Structure 1
Amino acid sequence: MSSIIPQQITHVVAAACLLGILYVFGIIIYRLTFHPLANYPGPLLGRITDWYSVIRSAAGDRHIHFLELHKKHGPFVRFGPNRISVNTAEGLAKIYGIKANTQKSAYYHVFNDVFKGDSSLTTVDHELHAKKKRVVSSALSENSVRAMEGIVLRNIRKFTNHLGSSASDVESDSINSDGWGSPKNMTDWADYLSFDIMGDICFSGSFEMLDKPDNRYVLDVLPKGVNGLNMSGWMPGILRLKIGNILFAKLNESMKRYEAFANKQSAIRLNMNESIKSSDVYSHLLTANQKCVGKGDRPLFTPTDLVGESSLLITGGSDTTATAISTTFFYLLHNPETYSKLKDEIRPLFSDVEEICGGAKLASCRWLRACIDEAMRMSPGVPGLLPRVALAPSGVEIAGRVFPPGVDLGVAHYAIHHNEDLYPDSFAYKPQRWLQEPQESETADDARQRVERAHSGFCPFSVGPRGCVGKAMAMKELMITIGRVIWLYDMRLAPGQEDRGRGGPNKGYGRHRTSEFQLTDMFVSKTDGPLVEFRSRVV
């Protein structure tokens, strides 16, 4: 009798395993043949499981794969069992635009799972998002940005002073005999600047990264932590079943440290509330709460929501802006004629560096703006795809294709920014593509249409009602920073370090172009370089 029971258990286990195998096999067959998206091309693993997105996110090359998949398969690519990537300007408008019949997908619930609260970026509910965004938009409105300009300028002055100093990112300890300062890694220094600015305007307290290293660990933790969230968004079971603790232990640890940093900044700011004399972004959130309580309503931003909003402000306002700064310097220094033309525009226009601030004069620097836009096109701060789910009753129609309610859709920024139909010779750095002056055999109408096409696919800050509320702030910071550096200094790539950050034949899949600044896709872009030397110019 005792020998029969183990035998029965063995049979049950074998039957369960067989049923499990048949179940998985059945899912695979269904997803490849009978699923509503079965006819859309894409990588085999992606058509079967969202583990494809997890693996590519972990590798940091998801942006490259999106581009190559669209080159191979055309404008529609199935990259998950229920997910479609679209690579057209029409798709950008239909998925993200004001009239889009979409909302943020379940991917964003992971942010609530980690921070136990929603931010204006991650809130899925349309009505709640609209309320939260109005508050944050007010905090970062044109008037608010103008009032904060003194804070921005104070940090930019500090930044430009450091660039000309002898403190080095490599083993070089002094200003050279010909006046060149020690090499600076522009990825690092742009990060220090952007984080210090956001600390000041959001929390009334600089992170002090320009002056000391205490908080610089965040520059490593943040992109890894955000990528941990990104991977968990594609496969929520990674977070809920604690799988990440085993498979992605370092990323998981970074995610926890990033959460702790956001908690810390929120707590510090709450404790100093009574002593704040000028309005910062956080004060707008607290004022909105007070108005809700005065009406007898639930606070718009709960304590956990405030932490979620802090994490958004830290990430969205710092890391992406820093990438735009370092990227612009990379392309300027690898394109000498473009750099020379920018000097010719900036230097005669301003008689003193303090004239380079927000206003009509700086806004008239169209070549400067074109240089920045072209850098953000080639190497966007968020290179991947922000998923939206098609809503009932009609779903979403793009180019005659109807995607039913429940399907996740998105446009990968890096891929559409290198769509040859919109940006001919897309891997060439050509700021002139943003200007309406006719080129070569173009007519004035040709030039106008060229610029319109370029803008139709341009999305470094995303587009539509869910686009970045801090765009005006970011552009002001970019224009002033780069304008002042060009006015103050001559600059060059550090001798022997000219290849820092660029692609090459041995750099990996899709990274062979020596003219391209390389990105690691960690939801936000991670870069390295360029390594630059600065020399004060004779005024």
Structure 2
Amino acid sequence: MYQLLADSFYMPIVALSIIATLYTLGIIVYRVTFHPLAKYPGPWLGKITDWYSVIRSVAGDRHIHFLELHNKYGPFVRFGPNRISVNTAEGLQKIYGTRAPTQKSRYYDVFSGVFKGDSSLTTIDHGLHMKKKRVVSTALSESSVKAMEEIILRNIRKFTVQLGKSTPSQTTDLHSESWSSPKNMTDWADYLSFDIMGDICFSSSFGMLDGPDNRYILNVLPLGVNGLNITGWMPWILRLKLGNILFAKLNTDMKRYEAFANEQSSKRLALENSPRVPDVYSYLLESNKSSKEGNSLFSPHDLVGESSLLITGGSDTTATAISATFFYLLHNPPSYEKLKKEIRPRFSSLEEIRNGGVLQSCRWLRACIDEAMRMSPGVPGLLPRVLLSPGVEIAGNFFAEGVDLGVSHYAIHHNEDIYPDSFSYQPERWLVERYPNESQNGAESRVELAKSGFCPFSIGQRGCVGKGLAMKELMVTIARAIWLYDLRLMPGEEHRGCGGYGKGYGRHRIGEYQLTDMFVSKTDGPIVQFRRRV
């Protein structure tokens, strides 16, 4: 009797287990053998499940892995059941370009799910994106940034003063021969970029250049964004409330990020009067006033998501470009010496160094920054796009509607067909005069080839709206530091931020600035000392 009852209990469980196993095996066989993307090479785990992308995102080396996969398999790599990574300039244009038949993939749903609203940076809907982007583009337009120039310069002045300061045990006389106390440029570039974005978005600096009170944000934001990045590949992790079980710390990080974003938005809304110089929030609120009643473009949740993601995107990426430029200049002395010779004679005083024709004429400065961003992009991984009808053809390969495509910034920036000797810091690769033995057309073609794969701000309609602001910030900041100070790597800390054997997968190159892919790049170093030049 009891045996019959036991058998009747276990038989359905066994049957269900068999069915589940057969179903899973069927999916695996289909994805590996019969799926329309089955012919494309890639890691075995990636072909059968998006857990592959989750695992690589948790490891923080997704950018390195994409490059290794393309070096092994070629320009097309299947890294998910329905995902292809492309590593060509043609692919970059056809996936992200202005006329590309693509939109942001479902990966971005996780952002609106956490912030409970849409931002111009993450919304999938094309029409909504264009409306929101129009407002943000106006907020960060040439005329708007010009009106904010003094706010930006105020922070850069504070930054350059802090670079030259010493601890109490050292001299604080900037005119002496002594070097400053060592500065970790990752930290100080973060302080500067976050303070600027706080002023620009909320009319309220985070005060990181002044003291440590708000510096905790530097951990909260990238960890929160990385949590979104990890779960974006498999959104059901959040939908089924499995974050606490699978990634407890990750879930906590995202909640801290959300809390910070809500706090900043609430503080800005509490301001009774509009700021003298309109900030980004002013434009968002004004667009709501001009909208038809009950049809505001930015809901309260949208305001939180928009401003917080703008701060993250505009701060972390710019900070990485600043610290990477210092890293590569100081590890490549001829480039550093050439930059000093370009900057110092052009300006008779520090305050002359601001956005304008003279600064824009510093072509070596721009080349040094571009080359640093090529080697160390602020967003090193792949931004997924889903194909719309009628699909797209890339290098004779047709991809149908519904397939996810993308280009890893780090991988294409190290594509040897576009950037020969790609791990060598060569600012001259951006300048036509580098090729004196070639015709003008031949030299220009080489530079155009380099530009064809260059995407530190992405490209097309979904490219970074703050690119103009970022480049002005970068040019002024680097130029002022070079004009004001002599620089050196702190003795004993010359290898901070460098690669080397034993430092992990794909991190063996001593001269490469190391990135951790947390959707945005995170770095450490270089450790630099400054001395006021005479």
Shared fold (TM-score, shorter chain, > 0.5): yes
Query: Mapping of 1:410-429 within 5 angstroms?
Result: 410-429=406-425
Cα distance, 1:90–1:166 mapped onto 2, change above 3 Å: same
Q: Counterpart in 2 of 1:381? A: 378
Which one is further off, 3-12 or 413-422? 3-12
Look up the match of 2:341.
Answer: 344
User: Counterpart amino acid of 1:348?
Assistant: P
**Could you say which residue in structure 1 is the equivalent of 2:239?**
240
Give the structure-2-normalised TM-score. Answer: 0.98
- The answer on whether the counterparts of 1:175 and 1:182 sit within 8 Å (CA) in structure 2 is no
Q: Does 1:324 align with 2:321?
A: yes
Distance in 1 between the 2:308 and 2:228 partners? 12
The CA deviation at 1:215 is: 1.1
Conserved? CA contact 2:226–2:519, under 8 Å: yes
Task: State the TM-score, normalizing by the size of structure 1.
Answer: 0.97
Query: After the TM superposition, which residues 105-504 of structure 1 pair with which residues of structure 2 at under 5 Å, given as runs?
Result: 105-167=105-167, 178-292=177-291, 295-296=292-293, 298-392=295-389, 394-439=390-435, 441-504=437-500
- Aligned identity (percent) is 72
One-letter identity of the residue aligned with 2:54: V
| CA shift for structure 1 position 167 | 3.7
Return the alpha-carbon distance in structure 2 between the equivalents of residues 91 and 116 of structure 1.
33
Give the whole-Å Cα distance in 2 for the aligned partners of 1:229 and 1:362.
38
Alignment partners' CA distance in 1, 2:142 and 2:245: 46
Question: Could you tell me which residue of structure 2 aligns to residue 19 of structure 1?
Answer: 19
Q: Which residue number in structure 1 is paired with residue 517 of structure 2?
A: 521
* Equivalent-residue separation in structure 2 for 1:481 and 1:506 (angstroms): 34
- C-alpha distance in structure 2 between counterparts of 1:316 and 1:273, whole Å: 28
* Aligned partner of 1:531 among 509, 521, 527: 527
Structure 1 CA distance for aligned equivalents of residues 51 and 531 of structure 2 = 49
Contact 1:174 1:182 in 2 (8 A): no
Given that 2:274 and 2:282 are in contact with CA atoms closer than 8 Å, whether structure 1 keeps it comes out as no
Query: Counterpart in 2 of 1:88?
Result: 88
Q: For residue 157 of structure 1, what is the amino acid of its counterpart?
A: R
Distance 1:445 1:255 in 2: 51
Which has the higher mean CA deviation after the structures are superposed, 173-182 or 274-283? 173-182
Post-superposition offset of 1:224: 1.2
- Local SS of the residue matching 1:199: helix
Bigger mean CA offset, 512-521 vs 265-274: 265-274
Equivalent residues of 2:428, 2:434 under 8 A apart: no
Distance 1:519 1:528 in 2: 8
Call closer, same or farther: CA 1:64–1:273 in 2, change over 3 Å.
farther
**Comparing 217-226 and 51-60, the one that deviates more:** 217-226
Mapped partners of 1:234, 1:514: distance in 2: 32
Give deviations 1:221-251, integer Å, cap 9, x for gaps.
1111111000111011221122221222222
**CA distance, structure 2, for counterparts of residue 277 and residue 248 of structure 1:** 44
Amino acid at match of 2:271: M
In the alignment, which residue of structure 2 is the partner of 1:505? Answer: 501
Please list every run of 5 or more consecutive structure 2 residues that lacks an aligned counterpart in the other structure. none
Backbone CA RMSD of aligned residues: 1.3
How many Å separate the matches in 2 of 1:415 and 1:445? 28
SS at match of 1:525: strand
Q: 1:438: how far off?
A: 4.0
SS in 2 for 1:274: coil
> SS at 1:53's partner residue?
helix
Structure 1 residue 297, shift from structure 2 partner: 5.2
Q: Distance in 1 between matches of 2:367 and 2:87?
A: 23
Q: Structure 2 CA distance, aligned partners of 1:220 and 1:249?
A: 16
> Once the 2 structures are TM-superposed, how far is the Cα of residue 214 of structure 1 from its aligned partner?
1.3
Distance 2:325 2:277 in 1: 33
The code of the aligned residue for 2:244 comes to N
Q: Which runs of 4+ in 1 moved over 4 A?
A: 172-178
